Amino acid sequence: MDRPQTIKGRGAADSPQGRFERLARSREAEIRSRPDTVVTLQQARSIIARNDSPDLPFSQSINPYQGCEHGCIYCYARPSHAYLGLSPGLDFETRIFAKENAAELLRKELSRPDYRCELIALGANTDPYQPAERKHRI
């Protein structure tokens, strides 16, 4: 089996189909050049994610981005792009979603009278300080 050609600056060398896709796709040409990163700005409905997992030392987290341009091939967050209909390969590193209203949502959440102060993990899923942060400053 031929191994995909590596792409400078990317962790993945291919963009396989997401595991939840109903339709199969095939590609005629291999990716040969370094693909551009596209950051899509989103209006999030909420910013603090809550969990009740006994094996995590925090119950709240904030992830201002979905996807990560750093492209670490071992990243456990890669499969989350499949839920968006995207590939956990190159799509995870080149199709980034930024929650542009994160600061506003956090301000509202922290000022609620019933908010209880707890530890909040920042970037528990993807790095909050990735290259897109230079421009978007979320």
Place of tokens 């595991």: 19
Give the per-residue pLDDT at 12. 72
pLDDT score for 73: 86
Q: What is the pLDDT of residue 28?
A: 53
Q: Model-level pTM?
A: 0.75
pLDDT at 13 (0 to 100) = 66
Which tens digit of pLDDT belongs to each residue from 44-84?
999 999 999 999 899 999 999 999 999 898 999 999 999 99
Cα–Cα nearest to 115, from 43, 60, 51, 52: 60
Q: What is the pLDDT of residue 137?
A: 93
Q: H or E stretch including 49?
A: strand 48-50
Rounded average pLDDT over 90-97: 94
Q: Which amino acid is at 24?
A: A
pLDDT value for 101? 98
State the pLDDT at residue 18.
Answer: 74
Cα angle for residues 123, 133, 94 (degrees, 5° grid)? 85
Model pLDDT, residue 32: 58
pLDDT tens-digit readout, 3-56 = 556 666 677 766 777 777 777 666 555 555 678 999 999 999 999 999 999 998
